[in-house]
Amino acid sequence: MSTPVTLKRDCHALVIPSGETYVLPAGTPVVVTQSLGGSFTVQSPAIGGLFRIADRDADALGLSPEAAPSPKKVTAAGPASEEAVWDQLKTCYDPEIPVNIVDLGLVYDVQVDGALCNVTMTLTSQMCPEAKTIPDVVKRRCNTVPGIQSTEVKVVWEPQWTPQRISAEGRKMLGIDEEQES
């Protein structure tokens, strides 16, 4: 995706990779480079750099908010399930990679203990520019699962992430042949 648009109104955004907030002014030309997981990644040649715009501000781009994929339903009477958390994690994306964090192989473990969810994950590198943003998104998304009241995200560096951790579905989305990884 590489769609040029002009912002229709002032728009709050997060600077990639710092995560600082920034207001992109109305009339700024941007290129939408990715639209996944409830946010848009835009590049601004006029200002310089990449920015993440929340789905709620899609109208500033002249777009409609995306319907976020819904996790499988959990009954209000029943406890939250690990399966529902995994489903919700599949709606989280790195703004520069068009594969969700589960298929990218970044999530190592999910445990649900009553209303508490514990997620153990990694990032593509210790220098990942999204080191603060992605765990925050994970926490927010997990907390939307019915029955989850609190989520702890632990980022670990062992085992180290490698491209071999990418799922078959993720490899397909990225155009990586199985033979290339042998």
Nearest to 26 by CA among 62, 63, 65, 64: 62
State pTM to two decimals: 0.67
Fold of 82-175: GMP Synthetase; Chain A, domain 3 (3.30.300)
Higher pLDDT, 101 or 173: 101
Domain boundaries, the chain: 3-61, 82-175
Instruction: Indicate the helix (H) or strand (E) that contains 114.
Output: none
Q: Which pLDDT value is given to residue 107?
A: 97
pLDDT in tens, 136-169: 889 989 999 999 999 999 999 999 999 899 999 8
**The pLDDT value given to residue 72:** 43
What does the pLDDT look like over 79-134, one tens digit per residue?
789 999 999 999 888 777 878 999 999 999 999 999 999 999 999 888 887 788 88
HSE (side-chain half, CA atoms, 13 Å) at 178:
3
Question: At 51, which amino acid appears?
Answer: F
Percent residues over pLDDT 70 in the chain: 88
| Residue 66's pLDDT band (cuts 50, 70, 90) | low
C-alpha 137, offset from chain centre: 6
- With beta carbons less than 8 A apart as the criterion, state whether 108 and 121 touch: yes
Domain 3-61: assigned CATH number: 2.30.30.40
Please give the DSSP secondary-structure letter assigned to residue 140: H
